[in-house]
């Protein structure tokens, strides 16, 4: 069965410092993995996706994620946080039947 675990429910960083949001996955086959972002009172938006091509994936707004099979991880990073990055971030794995399995979410706060 497919699952994802987001290791932190809340992360707080200062503006201009690096961001690290951690995600581990479990999959019975080669997974497709994604990160989505949800800003307050907005719909979810796809940040980036891994679908068995390059293991280092670049997304929108300067975010990246690295697929590490040996560690079953897909952590999201950004070199320098911006105030506008404050939002909830979801690590997601695809399942059969048109289904996406969402992690519990990590709320990112950015302090000035």
Q: Which residues bind other proteins (CB under 8 A)?
A: 32-34, 41-46, 49, 51, 90, 92, 94-105
Other C-beta atoms closer than 10 Å to the C-beta of 75 total: 18
- In 3D space, the residue among 62, 57, 52 whose CA is nearest the CA of residue 94 turns out to be 52
Cβ distance 88 to 106 under 8 Å?
yes
Closest to other proteins by CB, 53 vs 112, is 53
Closest to other proteins by CB, 13 vs 31, is 31
Instruction: State the minimum distance, in angstroms, from the CB of residue 99 to other proteins.
Output: 5
Instruction: State the minimum distance, in angstroms, from the CB of residue 98 to other proteins.
Output: 4
Instruction: State the minimum distance, in angstroms, from the CB of residue 26 to other proteins.
Output: 16
First to last CA, the chain: 41
């Amino acid at each position: 069965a497919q699952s994802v675990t987001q290791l932190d429910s809340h992360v707080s960083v200062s503006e201009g410092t690096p961001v690290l949001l951690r995600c581990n996955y479990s999959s019975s086959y080669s997974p497709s993995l994604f990160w989505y972002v949800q800003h307050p009172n907005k719909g979810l938006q796809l940040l980036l996706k891994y679908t068995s091509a390059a293991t280092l994936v670049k997304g929108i707004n300067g975010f990246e994620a690295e697929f590490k099979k040996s560690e079953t991880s897909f952590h999201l990073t950004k070199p320098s946080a911006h105030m506008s990055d404050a939002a909830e971030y979801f690590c997601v794995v695809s399942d059969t039947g048109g289904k996406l399995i969402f992690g519990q979410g990590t709320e990112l706060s950015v302090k000035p």
